Amino acid sequence: MWGGRFAAGPSAIMREINASIPFDKALWREDIAGSRAHAAMLAAQGILSAEDAAAIDAGLAEIAAEYEADGVPEDWNLEDIHMTTESRLTALIGPAAGRLHTARSRNDQVATDFRLWVRAACERAEAGLAALQRALVTRAGEHAGSIMPGFTHLQTAQPVTLGHHLMAYYEMLRRDRSRFADARARMDECPLGSAALAGTGFPIDREATARALGFARPTANSLDSVSDRDFALDYLQAAAQCALHLSRLAEELILWASQPFGFIRLPDTLSTGSSIMPQKKNPDAAELVRGHAGRIVGALTSLMVTMKGLPLAYSKDMQDDKPPVFEAAGLLDLSLAAMAGMIAESGFRTERMRAAAEAGFATATDLADWLVREADIPFREAHHITGEAVKLAENRGVALDALPLEDLKAIDERIDERVFAALSVEASVAARASYGGTAPLRVGEQVEAARRALGMD
Ligand code: ARG
């Protein structure tokens, strides 16, 4: 392909280090679409004869059918997907194939192919996130009033509802979706026609190729076009943030499925057994979602470090952009699907959750709030009085609302029998009806709003 200038061919090591076909063959659909759009534009502009354009288009269609049926052949001598396809086109239609590369370089070609691929990955992520959100919202609606302990420092803090907890993840995923949508909109510009780096002297029509490939517009600067991988980094940043959210949710499912918690039963279909311990049901899918997050963050780091020192315009380092993106996208798609299945299919053991909420003095804040409200005691003092009550209950091994009134009165005489109504976990969650709070009423409203936003009603 560039033999004219060289006296000797590349060594075996050169061929091996140079070859990207083992991974960039994943771009074959985008590559053929880009070439067909380019050839049609060249013909429309009178740069290519109608006859050659027709032969090229038919040849590319045939190659697409071959790749679809038999996969893409991997020949290191042909370096990459672009040369692999061009070489096959030459075999099929002869010298006219050599005219396809007029007013084009592999630099703008790969930038275009990869953008198309990453744009589709953004769309897949958005769809996967929407499916997981629907699962969360459905379960949150079922459990708007189911009480569980809320934690800070992983210590029982205050009772919350399971619906509220699940809707917290709905919110995280809503932000993730907007990051992918934002990345997709920003990358919606076509680099094709930037050629090697400087543009071309041929009278090409970049608006036409951009339109044909479904881009909003052509990119504005040819140097930037062939050297920019922001779009891939935007995708990986959104993916990394999303993976962190999935990993946190996975961690909660793993904890909740453990015997000491016993808050959920994971579906058999997304769990594994042990080859030695017959009683085991392991949360492997959740653990792998948690593990994959590390690899996705690693992919982001990998491409950031690849790009950080590169001068304009194209450098071969940039060929290393694809493996981390392909890997991260595969892991993210799978993680989203596995998580949607776990959320949709898990059994929530609400009686265990409720008992745990009652066991941890979770309504201590409600006692302090009651003293502020009913006895006009400053909150700091109420906090201290409540601390004494918790100490007493802990020493006796009973719940706060199981302390006899006379013992509470001995701690502070302003406490009266009305306090018991505030100390149940139901009263506690119902009281937290501030906007965004855990009260079943508020959670129900959030679920309704989310269902509308997701088009579920
Ligand atoms: N396989 C190359 C890549 O993925 C295509 C671009 C090659 N351009 C070049 N000037 N060698 O980056």
Using DSSP, state whether 404 is helix, strand or coil. Answer: coil
Q: Is the CB of 80 under 6 A from ligand 1?
A: yes
Ligand 1 centroid from CA 166, angstroms: 45
Q: Is the CB of 110 under 6 A from ligand 1?
A: yes
Q: Whose CA is closest to 244, among 298, 173, 293?
A: 293
Q: Whose CA is nearest to atom 2 of ligand 1?
A: 319
* Sign of the CA dihedral with 192 first, then 194, 196, and 200 last: positive
Distance of CA 112 to the CA centre of its chain: 23
Q: Whose CA is nearest to atom 12 of ligand 1?
A: 319
Q: Whose CA is nearest to atom 3 of ligand 1?
A: 319
Q: What is the rounded CA–CA span in Å between residue 287 and residue 283? A: 6
Q: Are the C-beta atoms of 325 and 232 separated by less than 8 Å?
A: yes
Ligand 1 centroid from CA 80, angstroms: 8
Ligand 1 centroid from CA 116, angstroms: 16
Q: Is the CB of 306 under 6 A from ligand 1?
A: no
H helices of 19-161, in order, are 21-24, 28-44, 50-70, 81-93, 106-142
Nearest atom (ligand 1) to Cα of 318: 12
Residue 264, strand partner residues? 348
Per-residue pLDDT of the chain (457 residues; tens, 9 = 90+): 667 888 888 999 999 999 999 999 999 999 999 999 999 999 999 999 999 999 999 999 999 999 999 999 999 999 999 999 999 999 999 999 999 999 999 999 999 999 999 999 999 999 999 999 999 999 999 999 999 999 999 999 999 999 999 999 999 999 999 999 999 999 999 999 999 999 999 999 999 999 999 999 999 999 999 999 999 999 999 999 999 999 999 999 999 999 999 999 999 998 888 888 888 889 999 999 999 999 999 999 999 999 999 999 999 999 999 999 999 999 999 999 999 999 999 999 999 999 999 988 889 999 999 999 999 999 999 999 999 999 999 999 998 989 999 999 999 999 999 999 999 999 999 999 999 999 999 999 999 999 999 999 8
Q: Which amino acid is located at 416 in the chain? A: D
Q: Are the C-beta atoms of 25 and 81 separated by less than 8 Å?
A: yes
Active site residue ranges: 153, 274
What is the DSSP code (8-state) at residue 312?
Answer: S
Q: Is the CB of 104 under 6 A from ligand 1?
A: no
What pLDDT does 41 receive?
Answer: 98
Q: What is the rounded CA–CA span in Å between residue 151 and residue 157? A: 5
Looking only at the bridges linking them, the beta strands covering 155-161 and 147-152 are antiparallel
230 CB contacts (<8 Å, ≥6 apart)? 186, 187
Q: Is the CB of 325 under 6 A from ligand 1?
A: no
Ligand 1 centroid from CA 420, angstroms: 73
Q: What is the rounded CA–CA span in Å between residue 195 and residue 198? A: 7
Q: What is the rounded CA–CA span in Å between residue 394 and residue 385? A: 14
Q: What is the rounded CA–CA span in Å between residue 220 and residue 204? A: 14
Ligand 1 centroid from CA 143, angstroms: 53
H or E element: which one contains 295?
Answer: helix 284-307
Q: Whose CA is nearest to atom 1 of ligand 1?
A: 80
Q: Is the CB of 428 under 6 A from ligand 1?
A: no
452 CB contacts (<8 Å, ≥6 apart)? none
Q: Are the C-beta atoms of 442 and 435 separated by less than 8 Å?
A: yes
Could you please report the per-residue DSSP string of 411-427?
H-TT--GGGGGGSSHHH
143 CB contacts (<8 Å, ≥6 apart)? 161, 162, 163, 166, 348, 350
Q: Whose CA is nearest to atom 11 of ligand 1?
A: 316
